[in-house]
Amino acid sequence: MKKYGISKESKRLLKHTSRTLYLSFSILPGYVKYMLAFGYLAARAMDSVIDSKDIKTDLKLKFLDLVNLIGKEEFEREFLKIKPALTGGVFGWEKELLEKFSDIVLEFWKNADDCDKRNFKFLLKGLSKGMRMDVNAFSNENGIGSFSSFKELMRYSNLIGGVPAIFWYRVYLKYDPEIFKNNVVKSAYRIGTALQLTNILKDMYCDLKNNRSYVPKEFLVKAGLDEKDLKDPKNIEKIKPFINSIILTCVDYFDESELFIDSIKSSEFSLKLALIWPIYWAMDSLYLVSVKNPLKNRIKISRVKIYKTLIKSPLLLSSIAFHQGYRFRRETLILSLNNK
């Protein structure tokens, strides 16, 4: 396999637009790091546009249409036309990321082969579908938007979390076709979906500040609530059944990680850790969601917790150690739900 590299500029943007993901990227093989880094940067740029309160709905949809033209001549030409309006609606590192978006895509496209391009397009197509759902649900500029049903929320999470996980799985298969003992693509899909659902729970406070409610309308009606009522932390008990149901869904999906880890060749240390870390941190986040009030503050695990996991990394490479750590978190989480 040819040598793959990432420019210093793209590395710098990657470091400043991610947190725990950057730690995972740093230990990956060159080709895998290359693919996942560009996949992340593209997704992060798209997310910045969709989340911005200062970018109009029609411009967001136009940007998503353009993303699906990546690799064609008209992409760069059309992107340059809307670039000033896009970058005027974001700030800080997100602004710089968008300003360099076409350069990042071009850097990837020049070095990628046809297989890499197909996988990249698969990722962007899935994300753009999910983000279109996001725009349609939350484009109400006069109030808080929400998805209509649990089914719609799951469809969104499958696209935003599950599709990137399949992309990740395919990248590893190209890196080494014999890296997995079993076909665990379904497990990857479910784990990716659970990571997205975890993000939704821990970011509820911030999302509500931006007039986004991921609590489906059908649940709110049953609870006798309106979207705006979620801005009152005192209503947490009324939506606990929804939160707990999502936590249990996440646990069910994360249980696939034990099969996934056991399916990875024992020599692939970096792949194991790149999966173990986010799963452990997600389970830690879900525990905090269960014992704190996600309507009052953003749920965030401490840096100390992150560093403790990193320090223990050599021990976690044993399947037995991973299972013990995962099951301890699982049991602690389930007990916290049952004690409410």
User: What is the predicted pLDDT for the residue at 142?
Assistant: 62
> Domain count of the chain?
2
Same domain assignment for residues 162 and 245: yes
List of long-range contacts for 276-280, beta carbons under 8 Å, 24+ apart: 276/313, 276/316, 276/322, 277/20, 277/23, 277/24, 277/309, 277/310, 277/313, 278/20, 278/21, 278/24, 278/195, 279/191, 279/195, 279/254, 279/326, 280/309, 280/325, 280/326, 280/329
Which residues have a Cβ under 8 Å from the Cβ of 277 and sit 6 or more positions away? Answer: 20, 23, 24, 309, 310, 313
Q: 286 or 21, which is more confident?
A: 286
Is there a domain that residue 2 lies in? no
Mean pLDDT of the residues in the chain = 91
Q: Name the residue among 234, 212, 238 with its Cα closest to residue 225.
A: 238
Q: Name the residue among 52, 15, 11 with its Cα closest to residue 34.
A: 11
Same domain assignment for residues 193 and 311: yes
Give dist(CA 329, CA 340) in Å, integer.
17
DSSP-based three-state secondary structure for 56: coil
End residue of a domain, out of 112, 139, 166 = 139
Is there a domain that residue 203 lies in? yes
For the cut 70, the answer to whether the pLDDT of residue 2 exceeds it is: no
Q: Name the residue among 29, 70, 22, 47 with its Cα closest to residue 171.
A: 29
Is there a domain that residue 276 lies in? yes
Same domain assignment for residues 164 and 267: yes
Task: Express each pLDDT in 172-222 by its tens digit.
Answer: 999 999 999 999 999 999 999 999 999 999 999 999 998 899 999 999 999
Return the structure tokens found at 301: 């695990």
Same domain assignment for residues 336 and 324: yes
Least confident of 7-21, 87-101, 264-278, 318-332: 7-21
For the cut 70, the answer to whether the pLDDT of residue 21 exceeds it is: no
How many beta carbons lie within 10 A of that of residue 115, not counting itself? Answer: 11
User: What is the predicted pLDDT for the residue at 20?
Assistant: 58
Task: Express each pLDDT in 130-180 by its tens digit.
Answer: 999 999 998 766 688 899 999 999 999 999 999 999 999 999 999 999 999
Is there a domain that residue 155 lies in? yes
How many beta carbons lie within 10 A of that of residue 299, not counting itself? Answer: 23
User: What is the predicted pLDDT for the residue at 238?
Assistant: 96
Same domain assignment for residues 154 and 288: yes
Same domain assignment for residues 274 and 161: yes
Same domain assignment for residues 130 and 144: no
For the cut 60, the answer to whether the pLDDT of residue 1 exceeds it is: no
Same domain assignment for residues 148 and 85: no
Task: Express each pLDDT in 82-130 by its tens digit.
Answer: 999 999 988 888 899 999 999 888 889 988 999 999 999 999 999 999 9
Q: What is the domain range of residue 19?
A: 7-139
Which residues have a Cβ under 8 Å from the Cβ of 108 and sit 6 or more positions away? Answer: 38, 42, 120
Is there a domain that residue 134 lies in? yes
Give dist(CA 259, CA 248) in Å, integer.
18
End residue of a domain, out of 139, 164, 184 = 139
Same domain assignment for residues 207 and 311: yes
pLDDT band at 251 (very low <50, low <70, confident <90, very high): very high
Q: What is the CATH number of the domain that holds 290?
A: 1.10.600.10
Is there a domain that residue 1 lies in? no
End residue of a domain, out of 121, 139, 157 = 139
Is there a domain that residue 224 lies in? yes
Give dist(CA 150, CA 218) in Å, integer.
8
Is there a domain that residue 288 lies in? yes
Same domain assignment for residues 79 and 47: yes
Task: Express each pLDDT in 266-304 by its tens digit.
Answer: 888 888 888 899 999 999 999 999 999 999 999 999 989
Same domain assignment for residues 155 and 183: yes
Same domain assignment for residues 257 and 310: yes
